[in-house]
Amino acid sequence: MSQLIFEKHSFNDASWLPSPAGASEKILERIPSRFLRKKDAELPSLSELDVVRHFTNLSKKNFCVDTHFYPLGSCTMKYNPKVLDSIAASTSYSQIHPYQDEEDVQGALRVFYEMQGYLSEITGMDEFTLQPAAGAHGEFCGLLIASAYHRSKDHKKSKVLIPDSSHGTNPASAALCGYEVVQVATNAKGHVDLADLKGKLDADVACLMMTNPNTLGLFEEDILEIARRVHEAGGLLYYDGANMNALVGICRPGDMGFDIVHLNLHKTFAVPHGSGGPGSGPVGVKKNLIPFLPSPRVLKTGERYVFEKEAPHSIGKLRSFYGNFGAIIRSYAYIKALGKEGLRAVAENAILNANYLKVKLERLFDVPYPGFCMHEFVLSARKQKEKGVRTLDIAKRLLDFGVHAPTIYFPLVVEEAMMVEPTETESKETLDEFVRVLESIQREIETTPQKVLEAPHATPVLRIDEVRAARNPDLRFRPAR
């Protein structure tokens, strides 16, 4: 029989705590009596089995990529091999400390050095830093590098150009670095409008920030012309690597003319994504920008790996120590395991899955930008809205079928947007089931729309007032009816 793991103890009696003899009494003597209990706390007495069942059942109420299809566009919420967790947890890595002598951690430094090289080769850049702890942190790093570069040339730059379909962190990062944000329009094909770009590209522009494929899931066909124009105007071209999952092994941002690249290891390179981290957003640059990278980087001298000792033009240190090592070791192992052919297969299958779903779903929804997509695509629920059902309602109803909603209402340039990214890790059977679920919801919209409008019906938390929940969150658990 399991022993009781919680007992009724008075907070006045701390003798059960593991501490030196008499220590607990001395602590209690220093606490004013008005804060001490007058009687034992009514704590539950539970068996280990009851506790395990409680937390196991709680875990089943979560939506995550390990339990449900998670077609969250623009975020690449793909399944990540669990063997990488085992590698990262190895005592060879998990029990070292960044303050150890370089000679004691040559293996870890080798991982850093080789990872810098792998990412440079994959993206077509000349050097990388692994310091940034997330994608937005990488954007901040890249824009600081751009700013330092222009100052070194005595360039007076005050603007950053950003497409209107960009990730919200792009303008935020630019503003944080002191730049004026200038929006560039999207044309009818879903690409950067060259005429609008030409009218806004002047001597004050420090850089143009772009995602390619863009946030509509489309490859920027005019990227070489865009790069030429930006460089002729004296600006830099910045690559937001959020959508690199579509390009790995196929083409490289550096070959398109980008000067600065950030990657999301927690999107593209198999690091768990969610709950705020731990993420990783390495930044790569072309040769002329290497002096401005954050310091220290890991260098190789002969057969030894060492930290950079001098970097007089560096933008400085952006993070404690050298980056999120647990994330970096996972991605390093992922790249080593897949190799050149495997990484290309990732992108090819991501593109195949997205186009398969797009063709299947275009008879249910409006497709604002028809034709071939990359790893993700955007639908519009404009037709459903005419019947009184909005994208948010469809997203809520999907939960009842055990499917996480796609990204909704983004990009902002599409009315009632649903952004779908199946990733390369999902099977055809899963994709077909997703189509069947949306077909079922569409039939409900035609016959019993109230069922969709009041969804979800079977989740632990039912329909809430979105605005009120954001302003006055109530985190108490309420079982479904």
**What DSSP letter does each residue of 219-278 carry, written as one string?**
--TTHHHHHHHHHHTT-EEEEEETTGGGTTTT--HHHHT-SEEEE-HHHHSS----TT--
Grade residue 450 by pLDDT with cuts at 50, 70 and 90: very high
| Nearest of 207, 287, 212 to residue 251 by alpha carbon | 212
Same domain, 352 and 311: no
**Which bin fits 162, alpha (ψ -120 to 50), beta or left (φ > 0)?**
beta
Q: Which residue has the higher pLDDT, 7 or 412?
A: 412
- Residue 47 placed within a domain: no
Residues of the chain above pLDDT 70, percent: 93
Q: Are residues 95 and 166 in the same domain?
A: yes
**Mean pLDDT score, 337-359:** 97
- Could you tell me if 324 and 353 lie in one domain? no
Give strand pairing partners of 159: 180, 205
Express as a percent the part of the chain with pLDDT over 90. Answer: 75
Whole-number pLDDT of residue 10? 45
| 277/421 same-domain check | no
The whole-number pLDDT of residue 38 equals 87
Is residue 73 predicted with pLDDT exceeding 60?
A: yes
Output DSSP code: residue 192.
Answer: B
Is residue 423 domain-resident?
yes
Range of the domain at 412: 345-471
Asked which of 34-38, 300-304, 404-408, 410-414 is least confident by mean pLDDT, the reply is 34-38
In the chain, the number of structural domains is 2
Flag the least confident range among 30-44, 99-113, 177-191, 417-431: 30-44
- pTM reported for the whole predicted model: 0.87
Provide the pLDDT for residue 334: 97
**Is pLDDT of 7 > 60?**
no
pLDDT of res. 460: 85
What band does 368 get if pLDDT is binned at 50, 70 and 90?
Answer: very high
Residue 279: the pLDDT is 86
Residues 374, 228 share a domain? no
Contacts of residues 365-370 at CB distance under 8 Å and 24 or more positions apart, as own/partner, are 365/418, 368/190, 368/216, 368/414, 369/189, 369/190, 369/216, 369/218
Mean pLDDT on 365-384? 96
Residue 53 falls inside a structural domain:
no
